Structure 1
Amino acid sequence: MTKLTFVELKLLVREPGAMFSLLIPLFILVIFGSSIGPGDTMLLPMALAIAVGLVGLYMLPTTMATYRERGILRRLSSTPVRPASMLVVQLILQFVLAVVSCGLLVIFAGTVLGAHLPTRGPLIAVTFLLGTAAMFAIGLLIAALAPNGRAANGVGVLLYFPMAFLAGLMQPTDKMPVILARIGEYTPLGAFRQSMQDVWAGGAPDPLMLVVMAAYALVISIAAAKFFRWE
């Protein structure tokens, strides 16, 4: 398991998509960073949601579907390393990638841009874990249903942009039609962005939004497990 993790980590570091997932949210933060003031509680949570969304909907499903397409998971079944071990390792590494991406955003925003940083660590951790779990569940379902890596990549991108729009990541929700903004609150990415924004504003996330993220994570994970194929 340790050797597998080390090998997969080296492959992940070399993967252009991993660099893309790290740099795109940071690039957005740099471009719009001039709008961040000491009391800003919107831009950084939006950037964090973008980072988690990219890893969950782009990196994770593409990697797993590609491994199945190339027969890697099937070949693992004939070795002491079971295919399930690959899934666990990928989930861990993709989670680490999301943490690193979000960590870079927070460090840059706090040190270079002087953005407001919350101090309620436990609330941030709970919100981050639930939001990431919800997005990863969707990524696993895409990987389960996609016939190959290219299809998984395409489906992930097609899902990402409407979800990002509804979540208020492309424009503030107060500039959107009320009905769309309301729908967006109950998408996994929208619930994550809103919960993070609540914490950044010094409050607590709406318990309903936490339940929404947990429900997405649970229900979609069950569906992904049902449809997932190792070969």
Structure 2
Amino acid sequence: MMKLAVVETRLLTREPGALFSLLIPLFILVVFGSSIEPGDTVLLPMALAIAVGMVGLYLLPTTLATYRERGILRRLSATPVRPGNLLVVQLLLQLILAVTACGLLLAVAGTVLGARLPTGVASAALVFLLGTASMFAIGLLIAALAPNGRAANGIGVLLYFPMAYLAGLMQPKDQMPAMVARIGEYTPLGAFGQSLREVWAGGAPSPLLLGVLAAYALVVSLTAAKLFRWE
């Protein structure tokens, strides 16, 4: 298991998508953050949601679908290293990547941009875990359904942009039709982004939205497990 983790870590560090997952949210934060008040409670939560969404909807499903396409999962089933071990290692590595991306955003926002950081650390951690779990669950479902890595990447793109729009990550929610903005709050990325904004504003995240995130994480991951094919 440890050798597998070392090998997968090396492969991940060479993956261009991993670098993009770190740099694109950071670029958005720096470019737009220079013109926003330090007390802003929208931009940093938005950048965090974008970072997690990119890992969950792009990198994770593309990697797993590519492994299946190349027969790696099938070959692993005939060795002591079971395909399930690879899945666990990948989930852990992708989680570490998401945490690293968010940690980098927080560090730059707090030190360079003077952005407001949340005081409710426990609430922020809970929202992050549930939001990441829901994004990863969707990524696993994409990997389960996609015939190959290219298709997984395309499906991730097709899902990401509508979800990002509904979540208010591409257009301020106050400029969206009220009904669309309301519906967007109950999408996985929308519930995640809204919960982050509530924490950044100094309040407690909505129990309803936390329940929405937990429901997505549970139901979608169970569906993905049922549909996932190793070859």
For 1:2-41, list aligned pairs within 5 A.
Answer: 2-41=2-41
2:98 corresponds to: 98
Instruction: Return the offset for 1:120.
Output: 1.2
Please state how far the C-alpha of 1:35 moved relative to its aligned partner: 2.9
Deviations 1:137-185 (A, max 9, x none): 0000000000000000000011000000000000111110011101100
Look up the match of 1:62: 62
- The TM-score normalised by the length of structure 1 is 0.99
Distance in 1, matches of 2:36 and 2:177, equals 25
Q: Give the number of equivalent residue pairs.
A: 231
Contact 1:37 1:116 in 2 (8 A): no
1:38 Cα shift? Answer: 2.5
**CA distance in structure 2 between the partners assigned to 1:169 and 1:34 by the alignment:** 18
**Counterparts of 1:73-92 in structure 2 under 5 Å?**
73-92=73-92
Contact 1:167 1:193 in 2 (8 A): yes
Cα distance in 2 for partners of 1:89, 1:45 equals 27
Unaligned runs of 5+ in 2: none
Structure 2 counterpart SS, 1:32: helix
Mark the runs of 5 or more structure 1 residues left unpaired by the alignment: none
- After TM superposition, the structure 1 = structure 2 runs for residues 170-181 of structure 1, keeping only pairs within 5 Å, are 170-181=170-181
Corresponding residue of 2:211: 211
Q: What SS does the aligned partner of 2:34 have?
A: helix
Q: Which amino acid aligns with 2:222?
A: I
Aligned to 1:48: 48
Post-superposition CA distance 1:42-97 (Å, at most 9, x none): 10000000000000000000000000000000010111110000000000000000
CA distance in 2, matches of 1:35, 1:102: 21
Residue 146 of structure 1 corresponds to which residue in structure 2?
146
- How does the TM-score come out when normalised to structure 2? 0.99
| 1:118 Cα deviation after fit | 1.0
Post-superposition offset of 1:36:
2.8
Q: Counterpart of 1:64 in structure 2: which amino acid?
A: L
Distance in 2 between residues matched to 1:57 and 1:74, nearest whole Å: 23
- Pairwise CA distance, 1:119: 1.9
Partner Cα distance (1:172, 1:204) in 2: 21
Distance in 2 (alpha carbons) for counterparts of 1:26 and 1:4: 30
Runs of 4 or more above 6 Å deviation: none
**Take 2:228 and 2:65, find their aligned partners in 1: how far apart are those partners?**
10
2:135 aligned partner: 135
CA distances 1:169-218 after superposition (whole Å, capped 9, x unpaired): 00111110011101100000000000000000000100000000000000
Mapped to 1, the partners of 2:39 and 2:105 lie a distance apart of: 17
Give the residue type in structure 2 aligned to 1:156: G
Q: 2 CA distance for matches of 1:113 and 1:131?
A: 25
Distance 1:46 1:94 in 2: 19
CA contact (8 A) 1:141 1:228 kept: yes
1:17–1:59 contact (8 Å) kept in structure 2? yes
Using the alignment, how far apart are the partners of 2:37 and 2:151 within structure 1? 41
- State the distance in 2 between where 1:182 and 1:98 align: 27
Residues of 2 paired with 1:106 and 1:160: CA distance? 23
Counterpart secondary structure, 1:85: helix
What amino acid is aligned across from residue 180 of structure 2 in structure 1?
L
2:158 is matched with: 158
